[in-house]
Copies of this chain bind each other. A is one copy, B any other.
Amino acid sequence: MPAQSIAYSTTDKIVVRGKDLVDELIGHVDFTSMICLHLRGEMPTPGQRAVVDSVLVALMEHGLTPSSLTARLIYSSAPEAVQGAVAAGLLGAGGHFLGSTENAGRLLREGAVALDQGTAVEDFATAAVARHLAARLPFPGFGHHIHRPDDPRAPRLLTVARENGVAAVHVEVLEAIGVAMDKAKGRHVTVNATGAVAAVLLDAGFPWNSLRGFSLIARAAGLVGHVLEEAERPVDRAIWDAAEERIPYDGPRTAG
């Protein structure tokens, strides 16, 4: 039987996840707690809330990226539809950037299960690294094309999780993989933000398939900011001109 357990409304009330929106939620809980309640049906502990806040703050903004450039181009082309600009930008939150979070999440879950079955964390980490290097697979959650030697967001997120008593087995597995990775490579490879995000959200009790959702929520906010600035100080023409200059036509030409 099809059914849903998120919300219902009547003429005089709205109920979300079993709580009265007006009497129990608006003015009673913050947005981050409401997100936690919506996504998994229960309120967060103070520590979990702090971790989710840190993740959403970390993921909101990274300057001019494909997503924010897209939101600005689309806003200036169709200013009557702000929702189109934000939606277009979110469509860039795909496999290339966010698949990595989910893959990291799956690997950390695998490690947590292995530890639970008695495997030592160093053994799991060493084997996982060896397996990926042998298959020449990119290692989810490690490396960054700008931030070197370290993605500064990653240690900060792990610290927040630790200080709030949330860091547990998934953070432990992530850090063990980091040690094993540096040893196998003979040089330091940074844990990146998506690796740290995966570890702290799993330790905060969220399932691995919800990880991409946090990026979408945080980025939606960042894209709204870009659209508001684009409305005041448009750069669409600059993007367009720069692209035309940088990317010449090299196909066949006409006789004329």
Question: Residues of A at under 8 Å CB distance from B?
Answer: 2-9, 11-27, 29-32, 34-35, 38-39, 41, 50, 52-54, 56-58, 60-70, 73-74, 76-88, 90-99, 146-148, 150, 152-153, 156-157, 159-160, 163, 207, 209-210, 212-214, 216-218, 220-222, 224-229, 231, 233-254, 256
Tell me the complex Cα distance, A19–B87, Å. Answer: 27
Partner of A246, one of B14, B61, B242: B242
Q: Name the CB-closest residue of B to A52.
A: B31
Evaluate whether A247 and B88 lie within 8 angstroms (CB atoms) in the complex, with A61-B38, A152-B13 already known. Answer: no
Known: A11-B148, A14-B62, A61-B7. A221 touches B217 (CB 8 A): yes
Please, which residues of chain B bring their CB within 8 A of the CB of A83?
78, 81, 84, 90-94, 98, 212, 216
* Sample of 12 A–B contacts (CB below 8 Å): A5-B251, A9-B62, A13-B152, A21-B61, A22-B153, A26-B57, A35-B221, A38-B225, A39-B224, A69-B73, A216-B224, A217-B217
Most buried by B among A12, A39, A62, A242: A242
Whether A27 lies near B84 (C-beta < 8 A) is no
**Quick one: copies of this chain in the complex?**
4
Q: Which of B29, B90, B159, B224 contacts A87 (CB 8 A)?
A: B90
Nearest Cβ distance between residue A71 and chain B, in whole angstroms?
A: 9
The answer to whether B63 touches A80 (Cβ under 8 A) is: no
Nearest residue (CB) in B for A218 is B31
Interface pair A26/B4, CB less than 8 Å apart: no
Main secondary structure of the interface of A (DSSP, over half): helix
Is B239's CB under 8 angstroms from A69's CB?
yes
Interchain CA distance A31-B157 in the complex, whole Å: 14
Cβ of A220 and Cβ of B217 under 8 Å apart?
A: yes
B247 touches A235 (CB 8 A): yes
Chain B residues, CB < 8 A from A69 = 69, 73, 239-240, 243
Given the complex of chains A and B, what is the CA–CA distance between A16 and B16 in angstroms?
33
Which B-chain residue is minimally distant from A81 (CB atoms)?
B81
Q: Say yes or no: A60-B78 contact (C-beta < 8 A), given A209-B231, A246-B2.
A: no
Once the chains bind, are B247 and A64 in contact (CB under 8 Å)?
yes
State A92–B73 Cα separation when bound (angstroms). 7
Contact A91 B82 (CB under 8 A): no
